[in-house]
Amino acid sequence: MSRIAAPMVGWMTSSMVLTLAVIPAFYALVKQWRIKRGLEN
């Protein structure tokens, strides 16, 4: 069971970072780009 523990912890950590940092940052960049282009109100 210990052979699967390290990859599982790594996957859970990367998933958390993706959810909490990367996706909101990407959303903010797209939102800023749309405002700059005049596509948002």
Res 3: pLDDT: 86
Q: 5-28: buried (b, 16+ CB within 10 Å) or exposed (e) per residue?
A: eeeeeeeeeeeeeeeeeeeeeeee
In this predicted model, what pLDDT tens digit does every residue of 1-41 receive, in sequence order?
Answer: 678 998 999 999 999 999 999 999 999 999 999 999 988 66
- Phi/psi of residue 16, nearest 5 degrees: -65, -45
Res 39: pLDDT: 82
Number of domains in the chain: 1
**Domain boundaries, position 17:** 1-41
Do the beta carbons of residue 22 and residue 30 sit within 8 Å?
no
